[in-house]
Structure formats: C-alpha cells, structure tokens
Structure 1
C-alpha cells in the first residue's frame, strides 16, 4: 500500500514538474517576445527622436535664413534711406553735382 502511494505521489510530483517546466517555458517565450517588442519600440522611439531632431534642425536653419533675410532687408532699407536722404541734401546743396555725389554718398553710407 505504501509503495503504491509513493508511486502515485511520484507520478503527481513528476506531472507537477512537467507542468511547471511547460509554464516556465511559456513564460520564457513570452519574455522573449516582450524583449523583441521592446526592441521594435526602442527602434521606433529612436526613429521618432531622429525625425524630431531633424525637424528641429530644419526649424533652426529656417530661423537662421529668416534672420539673414531680415538683416539683408534692413541693410537695403538703411542704404535706401541713406541714399535718399543724401539725395535730398545733395539736391539742396548743389543740383549740378548730384550725378557724382549720389553714388559716392551711397557708397560712404554703405561703408
């Protein structure tokens, strides 16, 4: 009787071990899939971070281009204002010398 009971207990224990081994294997496979999923998520996050960085760089370059454009426009307006005010002054001083003084004054103003 005792031998039969021990043998049944052995079968139950072996079955439990098999079930636990299968459960452990399933958990390990699940962990592998989670890791693969994490790798793809990380890869996607890296792609998004790179895309955002490129977009930010583009915005910075656009800002630099706009600033240069504004500086260029301001210089043109300054030169035009300088040219026209010198034109008026030159005309008031001597109308005969305008053809020489206007470009000369504009050049001086530009420097």
Structure 2
C-alpha cells in the first residue's frame, strides 16, 4: 500500500508559486496551514496532510526546511494509517482536483478511485 500520493508536472519542470498552492488549498478545500508549504485537514475523523515540495527532475528531494521555498513542482498527500472507502474517495477527489487545477498528473494513480 502507498502511504502518500504524489502530484507533479509531467517532467517536474513546471512549478507553481508557494502562495498559489497555499491559497488554493485554504480557499478550495479548507485546509489549515501548519507550516510553510504544510497543510492539514480532518476528513472523516482522520488527519490528512498535504505538503508542497521542490523536487529534482527525477522527483527526488532532500531538504532540512521548507522555509524560504517560493516554488514547488511536487505535491504530496500523506495518507492516514486507517483509510476506508469514504475517506479514500474524499482524498481522491482532492488529488484529482489539484492535478486538474495545475495541469499536473497523479503518479501511477496510487490506487485512487477513478
């Protein structure tokens, strides 16, 4: 089972401004900002976390802090440990909406509902 969902541009070259991602997640989905490029929301009793990340062209990343990062090319949705069909559907809708909004793709579909 995957523990996160990755959303990114086709070749990781397209980036979005951190404030654009922040505005989208807060206004569209009601996430709460808990740190720079880190957002959480309780869905069906479980905490879902989304993080914006700067990645290299292969999708790899390493960082000590996201402070000061102004653009990202990867968004990860951490999946809660316990997930049922309703929660999976809710997270799928968020991931699909993010991918459509930024014209990015969801990595390998990660078992999401279609």
TM bin, normalised by shorter chain, reads: under 0.3
Question: Which is richer in helix?
Answer: 1
| TM-score of the pair, normalised by structure 1 | 0.19
Greater C-alpha Rg: 1
| TM-score of the pair, normalised by structure 2 | 0.18
Question: Which is richer in strand?
Answer: 2
